[in-house]
Structure 1
Amino acid sequence: MAFSLFTPKNRIINLVLNDHSIRFVELKQSDPPSAQKWRERFLPPGIIKDGKIVDIVSLTSNLEECIDEWKIQRRSIRFLVPDPLVIIRKVSIPAEIQDDEIKGYLYLELGSSIHLPFEEPVFDFYPLSDNGKTKDLLLFAAPEQQVMEYADLFSSLKLNPVAADISPLALYRLYHQLGHTGQNEILFTVQFDLTNVNLCIFEGSAPVVMRPLALPFDSDKWEIKRDSLGCMDCKYTGDADELVVQFEDVFREINKLLDFYRYTLNNEKHDATKFLLSGDHPMLQAIVDEMKERFEVPVVQLSFGAESNGKTGSVPANLLLSLGLALKEVH
């Protein structure tokens, strides 16, 4: 019985929910990353909006069907906190605060010297530097009520949430694991999905600024069905010019964030050195091509070949975020 820990049924399930889908990946191995199995389901509009659960009854019903169909009953899970709920902020604290006291200190300062756009946050931090007088940290925060709504929902369905993460870190973890990181790299990640885009700039492995954007989504103008692998197959049936307008808005926001990073965060010392583009948008290749035309910064996608093959074949690009989540350690 001692070896039962190593059987597939005890592997952690990696669950990613956003405004338009539920996805999961079960990791087979981490080096190189390989999926044992994966699945996804389209979520009709109005169930989750801007990361917040709007229709808990419909979401519960959809999750129950997924759990049953995917045979993931009573499993431990990791999940992503939806991008629109997450705030990343750089804060400075006195250097004399010991490492094991930092969380308590931040908790006391929230609402007084550290201001967030919501009360009662859940938060974590990432140490950046210590100059002897102050310590610089990255603070990751989200509204506790909304995060716990997801955790409580999973628990009510007999799933066991053991870790939460944010999407830029999950994506970067996979990028790093695949050996793509460069020296002195300033990586600008663009997670381009069907209903939202998430922009994030990394200094080394630290995500220093993040900006989530909602995309207009009219389900009447999209034809969505399952392909032969059980994945979402999305085709746009509306006026192509409407998508062009959406993309233009996103490119403008990318330029704004580049300028903010260059002039406000960085005193013109550094620029982004690379774009990493990923996501589930069916026009992703056209978006990559357009960005290569517009920006002088190199644009790359995660190259993922035969090493990602599991029982279900090569993992589709729109499930790479779940695979990055699967690489998170559970402490």
Structure 2
Amino acid sequence: MGLMKSGRVNIVITNHVLRYSYHKNNTVAGMTVHGEVELPEGTIKDGNIENDGVFVEIVNQLVHVHKWKRKRLFFAMPDDTVVIRQLQIPAALAMEETVGYIKTQIGNSLYLPFPDPVIAIESIDADDKYRDILLFAYPEDKIKGFKAAFETAGLRPMAADLTSLSIYRYYYQTKPKDRNHVLLIHWNKDAIVLTAFRNHKAIFTRYMKITVDKETDEEQVQQLINQYMIEINRIIDFYHYSITKGEGKVEQLLLTGDSPFLGMVKSSLSSLIPLPIDGLEQEELPAKYMDVLGLALKNDS
């Protein structure tokens, strides 16, 4: 958490907006500037850069205005295609050998919905024979596409993150930690991402696209919200009965995102699901900025 002489840029990308902040150090208080840029339709689609020229120009303008040339960048990508799996591997394998071992299992005992994944792992538990790990897999081509675009715009990408992990990091580092089973509801304009955390580790995620037209009235929006309340309840039950095998229940809901109807969502959650809700509001910033604040808290290493 030490000071960084050159500061650091943090950027969160969604399919419709780019949120950013600049921090003189990786603390919430270290932020000196923040904002967001609406992306022209078709710039990002399904988490991929569709119009490279437009995206690079938008980032280049930010670099020029804020004098970010050659600044270090941490960025978070849409969670639309991330795969989170809990796996069991031989305990004899050292952690540095695990990624290589997992890659040999892809297509055999392990199936992923995309080729050439970038893989990260976290250890959960181990005994004499086996080690339980969490596998995070993401399409390598998406990461490479963003990294190349940022480099073209004059930034120095240092690390990529998932938006859900960034948001939870903000919660974990700034809020009480007495809840061991937490469901993050990231409700954006075009998608909802539900991510379950057990003992502060992400162990399950579900991505759902949503469509709300400009002509949609409040009654129709409420009907849509009610439909997704059913799905959220299903995930809560799935977590209890399938993921934890009846040994744990969701104790806390985290609600954030950039949906203009977030207030209606929170009211529906309060009336339909008897669990405490943390909206992650901060006095200075709307809830939608919790993703970029959490990204700024990511360690440099």
Q: Output the TM-score relative to the length of structure 2.
A: 0.93
1:146-182 per-residue CA deviation (whole Å, 9 max, x = no partner) reads 2111111111222111011111211111111113221
Give, in angstroms, the shift of residue 109 of structure 1.
2.1
Aligned pairs for 1:85-234 within 5 A: 85-183=81-179, 185-218=180-213, 221=214
Give the drift of 1:238.
Answer: 3.5
Whether 1:316 aligns to 2:295 is no
Unaligned residue ranges in structure 1 (runs of 5+) = 222-236, 306-313
C-alpha separation between the residues in 1 aligned to 2:28 and 2:161?
A: 21
Q: Distance in 2 between matches of 1:41 and 1:120?
A: 31
Residues 1:76 and 2:54 aligned together: no
Partners of 2:26 and 2:299 within 8 A in 1: no
Q: Structure 1 residue 85: deviation in Å?
A: 2.2
Deviation (angstroms), 1:321 = 0.6
1: CA distance, partners of 2:25 / 2:281: 18
1:295 aligns with 2:270: no
Select which of 21, 31, 44 maps to 1:35.
31
From 245, 252, 267, the counterpart of 2:245: 267
| Aligned-partner residue type, residue 60 of structure 1 | V
Aligned partners of 2:57 and 2:153 also within 8 Å: no
> Which amino acid counterpart does residue 145 of structure 2 have in structure 1?
E
1:50 touches 1:214 (CA, 8 Å); kept in 2? no
5+ unaligned residues in a row in structure 2: which ranges? none
Measured in 1, the distance between the counterparts of 2:273 and 2:65 equals 44
Using the TM superposition, give the Cα deviation of residue 44 of structure 1 relative to its aligned residue in structure 2, in angstroms. 2.7
Contact 1:35 1:315 in 2 (8 A): no
The match for 2:217 is 239
* Offset, 1:47: 1.6
Cα drift, residue 217 of structure 1? 4.3
Question: Secondary structure of 1:84's match?
Answer: coil
Q: Is contact 1:154-1:160 (8 Å) kept?
A: yes
Instruction: Give, in whole Å, the separation in 2 of the partners of 1:118 and 1:102.
Output: 20
Using a 3 Å threshold, how does the CA distance of structure 1 residues 69 and 252 change in structure 2: closer, same or farther? Answer: farther
Greater relative contact order (Cα 8 A, min sep 6): structure 1 or 2? 1
User: Matched residue of 1:117: which SS?
Assistant: coil
* Cα distance in 2 for residues equivalent to 1:174 and 1:315: 13
- 1:66-106 CA deviation, whole Å, 9 max, x = no partner? 33233322211011121102111111101111122112222
Report the Cα distance in structure 2 between the residues aligned to 1:53 and 1:241, rounded to whole angstroms.
34
Alpha-carbon offset, residue 108 of structure 1: 2.2
Using the TM superposition, name which of 167-176 and 98-107 deviates more. Answer: 98-107
Name the CA shift for 1:32/1:56 in 2 (closer, same or farther; >3 Å).
Answer: closer
Which residue, out of 60, 63, 71, partners 1:64?
60
Task: Find the aligned partners of 2:177 and 2:73 in 1 and give their Cα distance.
Answer: 28
Distance in 1 (alpha carbons) for counterparts of 2:126 and 2:82: 25
C-alpha distance in structure 2 between counterparts of 1:303 and 1:105, whole Å: 42
Distance change >3 Å, CA 30–CA 52, structure 1 → 2: closer
- Quote how far apart the aligned CAs of 1:30 are: 4.8
* Structure 1 vs Structure 2 CA RMSD: 1.8
Q: Return closer, same or farther for 1:323/1:32 CA change in 2, 3 Å cut-off.
A: closer
Aligned counterpart, 1:285: 263
Q: Name the % identity.
A: 28
Q: Conserved in 2, the CA contact under 8 Å of 1:39 and 1:70?
A: no
* 2:15 corresponding residue in structure 1: 19
Aligned residues: 299
User: What SS is found at the alignment partner of 2:238?
Assistant: helix
- Out of 140-149 and 314-323, give the one that drifted further: 314-323
